[in-house]
Amino acid sequence: MNISDLRRELDLDHAAQEIYQFAAELYPICRSITGNGFRQTLSQTQSHIPLTLYEVPSGTQVFDWTVPREWNIRDAYVKNSQGDRVIDFQKSNLHVVNYSIPVHQKMSLEALKPHLFTLPDRPDWIPYRTSYYKDSWGFCLTHQQLLNLPEDEYEVCIDSTLEPGNLTYGEYYLPGETADEVLISCHACHPSLANDNLAGIAIATFLAKQLSQIARRYSYRFIFIPATIGSITWLSQNEDRVDNIKHGLVLSCLGDSGKSTYKKSRRGDTEIDRAVLHVLQHSGQEFEAIEFFPYGYDERQYCSPGFNLPVGCLMRTPNGKYREYHTSADNLEFIQPIYLKDSFAKCLAVFSILEHNKTYLNQNPKCEPQLGKRGLYRAIGGTSGSGVSEMAMLWTLNLSDGQHSLLEIADRSGSEFDDIKKAADALIENDLLKELL
């Protein structure tokens, strides 16, 4: 069974339900770039795929950066003088500024205010804030909550620890026929945010699960990492292996209702760029292609000039481009199975191109071969008995001069890759095409 069989046989609706379900299971966990929330996320991922977990000690130098202390949190609240929790970490982990240092003291509203963050123009949403690299603490709350806070003496408690420990990441390596590999990277460091991390995590998990069950031409490496520091750590620890990476995708924001967006690799015209764009162009849906820029997700690191890897980023609505971004409104309603399904299917279509995109040599390059005597030619305009498009065969023969891969033939002819692939298969079977080695 190869990826074409998989794509034909897979029940995508069922897969989408599982993906959504898995995202929902992970939703309540208070993740951060280190700590038990991240470990818990990987542990639940292990119920689907046998992730290997790596622990990198705080203080480890990773290129220009240092692995930070590990952060863990048990509870956090602001209590009023009646003892009511007016801000309660138990209700939403977004209420605490991520990486807040421990605090426990009483203070006036005035003293507390500089530590409170709201979204005045979205008075019902809790913002998501972090302070990874500067010791501080704070609470996030809805603006409505803030307006309702009277003058009072408040008990402020963040029961967190920020101590030497480890940065954790998970990796799942699927060996293929060749050591050349496809890297799939997703960040898993955001707490209760659905589109901006759970969608990517859940889709990556089920892609890995499916790919593990089929014959693979490429090796695939799935990594689940904290954003920025995670990819920097991974690259630092795996520097000698990055040459194997022939194609890569960062997955994020894949569950919202927006159109698909592909941010190209820094090189801009690598095979992964062309494969993703081919899939989007033939999706029958609107999509957006954007040029690389050195901001966004972990493609920033993979595409730093010292690596310059062929890694793009597949999203639906990009980070920062939807209002729910980094707020409590990026929740389980904001992502939907139908969109996860579409994103998942597109990823499989991309992998299918990568798996099948070879370059062939026309074995009868002088004039066209006589397709009719081989039963490959019924009537132009139609399809041969085997469902293979004759135009696709003619294109594949004409361009299989050793200079054009099947994807290039598909793009130049305006055909879908799958049609060109089918044509190539029919021609190979008739000894009219041979792989260029």
| CA 229/CA 65 separation, integer angstroms | 8
Q: Contacts with its own copies in 15-44 (CB under 8 A)? A: none
Q: Decide if residue 379 touches its own copies (CB under 8 A).
A: no
Copy the structure tokens of residue 116: 């409170």
At 27, which amino acid appears?
Answer: Y
What is the side-by-side strand order in the sheet with 153-163? 85-88, 70-79, 153-163, 103-108
Which of residues 328 and 413 has its CB atom nearest to its own copies in the complex?
Answer: 413
Q: Are 187 and 41 in contact (CB under 8 A)?
A: no
Among 305, 333, 387, 437, binds its own copies (CB under 8 A): 305
Contact with its own copies (CB under 8 A) among 221, 246, 278, 300: 300
Backbone phi and psi for residue 76, each to the nearest 5 degrees, phi listed first: -165, 140
How would you classify the pairing of strands 139-140 and 116-117?
A: parallel
Q: Which is nearer to its own copies, 75 or 431 (CB)?
A: 431
Q: How far is the CB of 368 from its own copies (least distance, A)?
A: 6
**Binding flag, residue 397, its own copies (CB under 8 A):** yes
Site string for its own copies, 131-170 (x = CB under 8 A): --xx------------------------------------
Is 304 near its own copies (CB under 8 A)?
yes
Number of residues that bind its own copies (CB under 8 A): 44
Does 294 interact with its own copies (rule: CB under 8 A)? Answer: yes
Q: Site map for its own copies, 398-437, x if CB under 8 A? A: xxxx-----------x------------------------
130 lies in the binding site for its own copies (CB under 8 A):
no
**Angle subtended at Cα 424 by Cα 422 and Cα 427, rounded to the nearest 5 degrees:** 110
Region binding its own copies by CB under 8 A among candidate stretches 219-227, 230-238, 269-277, 325-333: 230-238
Cβ 346 vs Cβ 288: under 8 Å: no
Residues numbered 183 to 202 that lie near its own copies (CB under 8 A) are none
- In angstroms, give the least distance from the CB of 101 to its own copies: 17
- DSSP secondary structure string, 151-172? S-EEEEEEEEEEES-EEEEEEE
Contacts of residue 84, defined as CB under 8 A and 6 or more positions apart, other chains included, come to: none
The runs of H, that is alpha helices, within 199-306 are 200-211, 229-237, 271-281, 299-302
Judged by CB under 8 A, the stretch of 34-42, 165-173, 190-198, 300-308 that binds its own copies is 300-308
CA angle 275, 277, 280 (to 5 degrees): 115
Residues that bind its own copies (CB under 8 A): 62-65, 133-134, 228, 231-232, 235-236, 239, 266, 293-295, 300-301, 303-308, 362, 364-370, 372-373, 380, 391, 394-395, 397-401, 413
